[in-house]
Amino acid sequence: MSAVPPVEPGLLPFTTEIRPEGLAVGGVLLEQLARQHGTPLFVYDEEHLRRRCREAVAAFGPGNVAYASKAFLCTAMARLAAEEGLLLDVASGGELRTALYAGVEPDRIVLHGNNKDEAELRTAMTAGLHHIVVDSFDELERIERLHHVEGLPPARIRLRVAPGVAAGAHEAIRTGGHDSKFGFGLADGAAEAAVRRAEGSSAVRLEGVHAHVGSQVLDPAELADGAAAVARFAVASGVERLTVGGGLGVAYVSGQSAPSFEVWAERVHAAVRGAGWSGEVGVEPGRSIVARAGLTLYRVGTVKRIPDVRTYVSVDGGMSDNLRPALYDARYEAFLPRCPKASRPLRARLVGKHCESGDVIIDDAALPEDLRVGDLLATPVTGAYGYAMASNYNKLPKPAVVFVRDGRARLVVRRETEYDLLRLDVAGEGPARSAPELVGAHQGA
């Protein structure tokens, strides 16, 4: 059994520090957070979040960065991004409502989505968003109907183009190819036809074009290729604005590395200038803002050793708070906050508590040899698409979210309760115990 070194510091939040009592982030011990707020628990380093926002703005310029809120959104995150000078990119009516509830000005919000319904478009047009990224001719028709029939003001729009360049770590997150549900294709002439349609419509004000080639891209050359393709189209179309999306990847496991915002900006700017674009470039980072800033805390509940097969370590969360391993074969590291510098010779399959064999967080996790039931365990780099994709599978309540900074922790999303899980149920026929009684019985109250 060979020992694996401790988790690399480059996978941990910026303010991480090792104390005699264990690991602290934002000046707060992780064990203290777990005792106070329970587990599973999402912990975000607020200073890390703010620093990454500032780095993005420094690289691309004020007004050119929109935070892709699908990576992680709550009202506190929306306010933080706005305070640091970012626009907010939302992809549904729910995300739009959250941004507005957080107090983000409508003219600092961008609406995405490949199948926006009339309710979403009505809210966007009425509120006066920064712009809507139009994805299809059907969407243009819906906007025109809302303008002509309901009298809503014309919408400022950018057309999403599928440039024929697909990038990303998994097929499910490659979005810029010809075979994509997103955008107007360049190869089949749909993008050119969309420009003509928009220019002739009184319901929209065409400002520019947009493209996004994929996610978790670690080679900036792939992002540059996509940017060049859409820039050539933007120049030929005579539009004033160009957005090249997001997609910059992050390191999830030891040995990986990711380019900085500065390198991304240099490559993209060089690519679009080479394509004849002389204006500014908009980007929409999400994962690269929040992923490393967050980590997930669990409690170990079961250790099952099967001789000559493997060891299973079960924690109190799983695929309901981190779907990415099941969805994208995503890989993570794990460690014990009580001994973050310990070597990790134990190999085990780290699994959740769901009634599903595919509920695997790390297939072959490296862990300290003295791991035991009751230990606090952490998985780093879970700040993106962890809470955002969380579900109630097996009726598990979603975890709480805390922000830590300067020795203080603030709860930004409370933990769901079993009562919350019953709030939307409509009682059927026959006698039924009240929700509080059921919850109390389950919790031993």
Domain match, 20 and 50 both = no
- The predicted pLDDT at position 64 comes to 98
Domain match, 252 and 343 both = no
Does residue 99 contact residue 69 with C-beta atoms inside 8 Å?
A: yes
Domain match, 49 and 36 both = no
- The predicted pLDDT at position 176 comes to 43
Tell me how crowded residue 119 is: count the other CB atoms within 10 A of its CB.
Answer: 9
Domain match, 335 and 373 both = yes
- Predicted TM-score (pTM) of the model is 0.92
* Domain containing residue 215: 45-290
pLDDT tens-place string over residues 276-307: 999 999 999 999 999 999 999 999 999 999 99
**Highest mean pLDDT out of 157-166, 214-223, 293-302:** 293-302
Domain match, 257 and 189 both = yes
- The predicted pLDDT at position 433 comes to 60
Burial class (CB in 10 A: 0-12, 13-18, 19+), 59: buried
Burial class (CB in 10 A: 0-12, 13-18, 19+), 355: exposed
Domain match, 375 and 409 both = yes
Q: pLDDT-based confidence at 180, cuts 50/70/90?
A: confident
How is 237-283 classified by DSSP, letter by letter?
A: HT-SEEE----B----STT-----HHHHHHHHHHHHHHTT--S--BB
pLDDT tens-place string over residues 5-38: 999 999 999 999 999 999 999 999 999 999 999 9
Does residue 185 contact residue 191 with C-beta atoms inside 8 Å?
A: yes
Whole-number mean pLDDT of the chain? 93
Residue 304 is part of a domain; what is its CATH number? 2.40.37.10
Domain match, 32 and 149 both = no
| Chain centroid offset of residue 301 CA | 28
Q: How many domains does the chain have?
A: 2
DSSP-H helix ranges across 151-199: 190-199
Separation of alpha carbons 315 and 299, rounded Å: 5
Residue 364 pLDDT greater than 50, yes or no: yes
Q: Residues with catalytic annotation?
A: 355
pLDDT tens-place string over residues 385-427: 999 999 999 999 999 999 999 999 999 999 999 999 999 998 7
Domain match, 227 and 275 both = yes
Domain match, 310 and 272 both = no
Last residue of a domain, one of 273, 290, 307: 290
Q: How far apart are the first and last CA of the chain?
A: 45
Domain match, 96 and 198 both = yes
